[in-house]
Amino acid sequence: MCVVHCPYGAIIPVPTEHISIKCDGCLWSKAPACVRACPTGALVFTDLETLGDTLDAQERFRKREVQPAKLSPARA
């Protein structure tokens, strides 16, 4: 997916090894083109401190206790 969306052709697939050679991160841009184009938001471009905060927040969210919904009895 990233190979297709990179507008600069910076990511090169290596089909024999099932990998892609990564780019330089679009150093001239605020965020790499692949991050901006990623339709699922799976790619993130940030500094390590911010990434740590984000991962901590995600972990807290995953650990939360979710109460089951209270359903009303069916009406006849």
Alpha-carbon distance of 23 to 30, in angstroms, equals 15
Q: What 3-state DSSP class applies to 71?
A: coil
Instruction: Supply the pLDDT for residue 30.
Output: 82
Contact (Cβ atoms closer than 8 angstroms) between residue 35 and residue 44: yes
pTM assigned to the model: 0.43
> Tens digit of pLDDT for each residue in 14-64?
888 888 887 677 777 788 877 888 777 777 788 877 878 878 877 877 777
pLDDT grade for 1, boundaries at 50, 70 and 90:
low
pLDDT grade for 12, boundaries at 50, 70 and 90:
confident
Instruction: Supply the pLDDT for residue 69.
Output: 64
